[in-house]
Amino acid sequence: MANPVRFIPAPINPKLELQRRVDAAPQEHAEALLVAWDVLQAAHDKGLLDALHGIIEAKDTIAGKLAEYAKLPEGIAGIRNLLTAAKILTEIDPEVLEHLSKAVAGASVEQKKEQTPPSLWQIGKRAMSEDGRRGLSFATLLLSGFGRGLKR
């Protein structure tokens, strides 16, 4: 019959293992450490570390002021409005928002080119174009929704 092999694991010292990893870190992570040091230096040069230090030192004061404001009716309304605005933004298709931003930029450029305000006839022609009607339809849908919300 076979005799069992006796196994006794070598004791592991966690401090020695950590020291080994720290000693090996410069070789294993040299590039990452250099980038981290560059980021740290840039933050120091721009004063971000001083600002962060100030925020950490004043955390109790900042938290106290935020709590005071949050207790006020205006603070509660502001937080609710912020949450509602975030909900609205999550419901907008990013492509639609991108098209809207391009349209605003384009309209701004066109408006700067105008030497005099357009006549009512020119405004009517814009409104009667296919794109103008599509925009007016969207605007009237928004206005109808706002009106529905104001009934309450």
Q: What is the mean pLDDT of the chain?
A: 90
The Cα 107–Cα 132 span in angstroms is 12
Q: Are 85 and 91 in contact (CB under 8 A)?
A: no
Tokens describing residue 39: 């980021």
* pLDDT tens figures, 131-151: 999 989 989 998 998 888 888
pTM above 0.85, yes or no: no
Q: What is the 3-state secondary structure (H, E, C) of 113-140?
A: HCCCCCCHHHHHHHHHCHHHHHHHHHHH
Closest CA to 124 of 133, 115, 111: 133
Dihedral-angle region of residue 129 (phi above 0 means left; psi in -120 to 50 means alpha; beta otherwise): beta
Residues contacting residue 126 through CB under 8 Å, at least 6 positions apart: 118, 132
- Dump pLDDT digits (tens) for 64-95: 999 999 999 999 999 999 999 999 889 888 89
Q: How many CB atoms lie under 10 A from the CB of residue 126?
A: 12
Per residue in 47-68, pLDDT (tens digit) is: 999 999 999 999 999 999 999 9
pLDDT per residue over 8-36, tens digit each? Answer: 888 888 898 899 888 888 888 889 989 99
